[in-house]
Chains A and B, each alone.
Chain A
Amino acid sequence: MKQMILRDIHKIYNASKPNAFHALKAINIEIETGEIVILKGVSGSGKSTLLSLMGGLSKPSSGDMIVEEENIAKLPDILSSRYRHEKIGFIFQSFNLLNGLSVEQNVQAPLMLSHLSHTHIDEKVMRALDIANIAHKKRQRVSDLSGGEKQRCAIARALVMNPPIILADEPTANLDTHNSRLFIEMLDTFKALGKTVVVATHDVLFEEAKAIDRYIHMKDGEIIP
């Protein structure tokens, strides 16, 4: 079953201005449910732009983005927010955690909007912390964690809403080789959980991963066959 269909996607920044920049050109991608896809390409090739479109963080200049039979490119802002909240787990290069809060509080944050009971929230948080292998640090402040631990906290936060899709933008860029390998091993867990995963990276370590189903190479905003 197709989880995501991107049809003739273009993204132009500053359209109709002298400094217009064509970041994505005629992108056509179909991603199956549970598939793990790596977007590869050098900086500026359009990986992050494509990821932000998939995540409903921005909208294309033209084209269709069908996710679970809904064209997310045409959703009003309020429904885009709901889409991001319910369907997408984001993992960022710079983690984007709330440094003043504990690991547990960071992971709880997305659930604060979901009107669940405290017991239910605690269950979901513990499950996410266990999957990400960071439960032992749950009381610790994020500012006191190492890079690898921060990334695991970010993974737990991405998983806590149990979203069907995980998007990761250069998730290993701020990690050493050991922690990068730990993250790559985590892809097996995502696969076992049935998540659809799209990772934008130019890290060669990902080539070792067995869980990966497909590589999509990008250059100058286009997909290279």
Chain B
Amino acid sequence: MSIFLSTEIVVFLLIEVILLLLMSIAQGNIILILRRWDFESSTALQYHLEKKNYLVNTILYFTVAVKIILFLFFILSLNSLAGVVPGAMCSAGVVGANVYGNLVLFLKLMLIFGLGLWFLINTLDLTAPNFPHLKPKYWLFSFLFILLCSEFALEIIYFSNIPLKVPVFCCSVVFQSPKLPFGYTQEFLVVVYYLLLVSILVLNTLKQKIATLLCNFLFFFVGYYAITYFFGLYIYEMPNHKCPYCMLQKEYYYIGYFIWGFLFLGIFFGMMPYLIERITGANTNALLKYSSFFLVLSATICTFYFVHYYLLTGVLL
């Protein structure tokens, strides 16, 4: 049996192909717009380009929105593939089935951030009277388009190389003792997690965009390790279950979607104001309050599991 016969993968790849086709049409028009755009002109060509601009925006609004939803479907698909891939008990086994899995996942996450950035710049551009951010937003999309094509190629390679006869390693690996970077301990990690969180909240309040960008970048990794290697233990209520994916499953009430979702949303909104200002010069400090809101939500859920377990058992894992 081929992995490509799995319903989820067929649906996923079919949607990816359609989106890529639509984005290719948009990209063709973007090249034309980037070459000939002159907003001050009132010629037939400029009006034609302005119409094309609406076509491109409509296509991209749709495809970017679907792409973000498709990311969730991808995660769901990985979970369901665990039943097909021998040895896999959750997405950890499927992602780790070959060397491309983590790369695909990381690239997808980066693309979601990139497309989100494009989405925000596009919104700014369409609400201004003279399309002031048109060129930067299309240069950004052209760069993302190359990544999107690479992502699709990588997905094909990844799915083609998932072994269906040889058992993969799954939580047998993550169940082992934690491999934290630089030999850090769990205690140190959780202290850094809360310190960084508080720093981000303070910096967001003070609207220190560069500092909050850097702290959020750090928090991306610290958050990942803290949730996987510390809070995860209290979610699974097992001292050696260090998996970032199992919490996405029904057994854990899909809580992982909220924890990871809020974490990434918080980091995203924290990083955007500085990047948007660099690209467009626009002030989007208002996004920082969304950053604080989502990060606090994610941390509250994590802390709840930890406190709840400790209050019930009086034991630290």
Contact = CB atoms under 8 A, between A and B. Distances in A.
B42 interface: yes
Contacts of B46: 62
B131 A76 contact: yes
B16 interface: no
Contacts of A62: 42-44, 46-47
7 contacts: A10-B44, A12-B44, A62-B46, A62-B47, A63-B42, A74-B50, A76-B131
Interface residues of A, number: 20
A59 interface: yes
Contacts of B127: 76, 78-79
A169 interface: no
Interface string B35-79: 000010011101110110010000000000000000000000000
Nearest to B128: A76
Nearest to B129: A79
Contacts of A60: 47
B130 interface: yes
Interface of A is mostly: mixed
B128 to A, nearest CB: 7
A177 interface: no
A76 B129 contact: yes
A65 to B, nearest CB: 9
A15 B44 CA distance: 10
Nearest to B46: A62
Contact of A76 (B42, B44, B51, B126): B126
A59 B48 CA distance: 10
Interface secondary structure of B, over-half rule = helix
A61 B130 CA distance: 18
B42 A59 contact: no
Nearest to A7: B42
Nearest to B39: A74
B47 A77 contact: no
A59 B50 contact: yes
Interface string B99-139: 00000000000000000000000000011111100000000
Contact of B130 (A10, A12, A74): A74
Contacts of A63: 42
Given A74-B39, A77-B54, A59 B47 contact: yes
B129 A15 contact: no
A73 interface: yes
A104 interface: no
Ranked nearest first, the 3 interchain pairs of A and B with the lowest CB-CB distance are A62-B44, A64-B42, A61-B44
A15 to B, nearest CB: 7
Nearest to A65: B42
A70 B46 CA distance: 17
Contacts of A76: 126-129, 131
Contacts of B43: 62
B48 A15 contact: yes
A73 B129 CA distance: 11
Interface in B243-285: none
A75 B245 CA distance: 47
Contacts of B48: 15, 61
Nearest to B43: A62
A73 B47 contact: yes
A63 B39 CA distance: 13
Contacts of B130: 74
B221 to A, nearest CB: 39
A107 B126 CA distance: 30
A56 to B, nearest CB: 13
Contacts of A71: 42
Nearest to B40: A74
Contacts of A7: 42
B47 A75 contact: no
Contacts of B47: 59-62, 73
B91 to A, nearest CB: 41
A88 B46 CA distance: 26
B131 A73 contact: no
Contacts of B54: 77
A10 B131 CA distance: 23
A60 B72 CA distance: 43
Interface in A43-70: 59-64, 70
A25 B47 CA distance: 16
Nearest to B125: A76
B45 to A, nearest CB: 8
Contacts of A77: 54, 126
Central interface residue in B47, B48, B127, by most chain A CB within 10 Å? B47
Given A60-B47, A62-B47, A75 B42 contact: no
